[in-house]
């Protein structure tokens, strides 16, 4: 239909047509707003190899951090991530989440489906769909293969690409040794710099994951808004705003996207499970504060 409209000389931009489609109830056009993931030609990993890379990277990562083990929190967050993953463009991947006992307000997306959430982010969010928005954004990075692309580019730059790829499916420690030689997983993740396009793609992928999974998709916008209100303060918030810049442009795009979709009246924003999570966190000893850089 878009081709037909353009062929008669009606020159409107894509979002103009999406608004018209939303007003007319044309669901197919509204759905077209979701990005379709494209992988750079240098990343030749198969799905199985990418999952294997994530497993090896995660195993090494967990040696450097303190994982918070709480049955109530773990089951609740795992259920959310599974729903988001099932609603994503990569529903077959083994999505999983663990909480890192750190006061940082941050999260990390690992290749192939693994997500690490800093406890500080759980303590920062105020309602469930704000938290789910942050999680959906990270699932968007996984689906977009953004971390994988950057890691493989780093291996390629050091002439390690073929060696990594050759050993991913083997039961040896070669890949872990390479990760260690490059500074370890914490250093490698800290050096990742997602492009503006990566961030916007993760935002929109997460937006549609939330919508299909049953949450109100304004969660990430709410999360961004509160981050922006705290920018400039010397707190743990510095970590999240530097790694995932909450720019006004990204917030504007999300507001525009909200105007193009029909939100189901039963879309979820809060739950008793979220309140139970907050209660569980409140009785735990304080999480370690982020170490000052430099």
Summarised one tens digit per residue, pLDDT across range 22-34 is 333 333 333 447 9
39 near 47, Cβ under 8 Å?
Answer: no
89-148 pLDDT, tens digit each: 999 999 999 999 999 999 999 999 999 999 999 999 999 999 999 999 999 999 999 999
228 near 246, Cβ under 8 Å?
Answer: yes
Closest alpha carbon to 238 in 227, 249, 225: 227
- Cα 190–Cα 206–Cα 104 angle in degrees, nearest 5: 35
Q: How far is CA 77 from CA 35, 96, 113, 227, in A?
A: 25, 9, 14, 22
- Give dist(CA 97, CA 107) in Å, integer: 10
- pLDDT surpasses 50 at 7: no
- pLDDT surpasses 50 at 14: no
At 72, list the tokens. 């109530």
How many other C-beta atoms lie within 10 A of the C-beta of residue 46?
11
Proportion of the chain above pLDDT 90, given as a percent? 72
- pLDDT surpasses 70 at 242: no
Task: Indicate the pairing of strand 114-118 with strand 96-100.
Answer: parallel
The per-residue pLDDT for 133 is 96
- pLDDT surpasses 90 at 16: no
The per-residue pLDDT for 32 is 42
- Give dist(CA 49, CA 137) in Å, integer: 23
Tokens 């969660």, located at residue: 219
Give the phi and the psi of residue 196 in degrees, each rounded to 5: -60, -35
- Better-scored residue on pLDDT, 5 or 215: 215
Closest alpha carbon to 146 in 109, 103, 180: 109
At 87, list the tokens. 């609603």
The per-residue pLDDT for 102 is 95
The per-residue pLDDT for 196 is 87
What is the average per-residue pLDDT within 204-218?
96
How many other C-beta atoms lie within 10 A of the C-beta of residue 152?
24
What is the average per-residue pLDDT within 187-213?
93
- Cα 115–Cα 81–Cα 261 angle in degrees, nearest 5: 120
40-92 pLDDT, tens digit each: 999 999 999 999 999 999 999 999 999 999 999 999 999 999 999 999 999 99
User: From edge to edge, which strands make up the β-sheet containing 114-118?
Assistant: 67-68, 96-100, 114-118, 107-110
- pLDDT surpasses 60 at 220: yes
Residue 286 pLDDT level (bands cut at 50, 70, 90): very high
- Give dist(CA 83, CA 140) in Å, integer: 13
- Give dist(CA 239, CA 244) in Å, integer: 8
Distance from CA of residue 134 to its chain's centroid?
A: 7
For residue 234, with 0-12 CB atoms within 10 Å meaning exposed, 13-18 middle and 19 or more buried, which class applies?
A: exposed
44-54 pLDDT, tens digit each: 999 999 999 99
The SS3 call for residue 97 is strand
The per-residue pLDDT for 236 is 45
């Amino acid at each position: 239909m878009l081709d037909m409209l353009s062929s008669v000389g009606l020159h409107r931009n894509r979002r103009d047509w999406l608004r018209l489609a939303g007003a007319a109830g044309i669901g197919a056009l509204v759905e077209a707003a979701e990005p379709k993931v494209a992988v750079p030609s240098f990343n030749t990993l198969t799905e199985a190899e990418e999952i294997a890379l994530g497993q090896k990277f995660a195993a090494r990562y967990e040696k450097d951090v303190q994982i918070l083990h709480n049955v109530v929190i773990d089951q609740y967050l795992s259920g959310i991530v599974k729903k988001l993953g099932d609603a994503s463009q990569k529903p077959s991947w083994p999505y999983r989440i663990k909480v890192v006992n750190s006061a940082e307000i941050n999260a990390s997306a690992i290749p192939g489906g693994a997500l690490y959430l800093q406890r500080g982010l759980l303590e920062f969010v105020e309602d469930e769909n704000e938290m789910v928005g942050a999680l959906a954004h990270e699932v968007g990075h996984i689906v977009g293969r953004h971390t994988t692309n950057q890691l493989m580019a780093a291996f390629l730059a050091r002439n390690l690409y073929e060696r990594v790829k050759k050993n991913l499916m083997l039961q040896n420690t070669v890949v872990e040794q390479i990760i260690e030689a490059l500074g370890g997983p914490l250093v490698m993740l800290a050096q990742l710099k997602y492009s503006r396009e990566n961030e916007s793609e993760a935002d929109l992928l997460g937006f549609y994951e939330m919508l299909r999974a049953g949450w109100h998709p304004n969660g990430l916008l709410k999360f961004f808004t509160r981050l922006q209100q705290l920018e400039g303060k010397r707190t743990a918030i510095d970590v999240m705003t530097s790694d995932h810049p909450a720019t006004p442009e990204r917030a504007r795009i999300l507001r525009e996207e909200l105007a193009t979709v029909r939100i189901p009246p039963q879309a979820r924003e809060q739950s008793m499970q979220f309140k139970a999570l907050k209660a569980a966190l409140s009785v735990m000893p304080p999480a370690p504060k982020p170490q000052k850089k430099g």
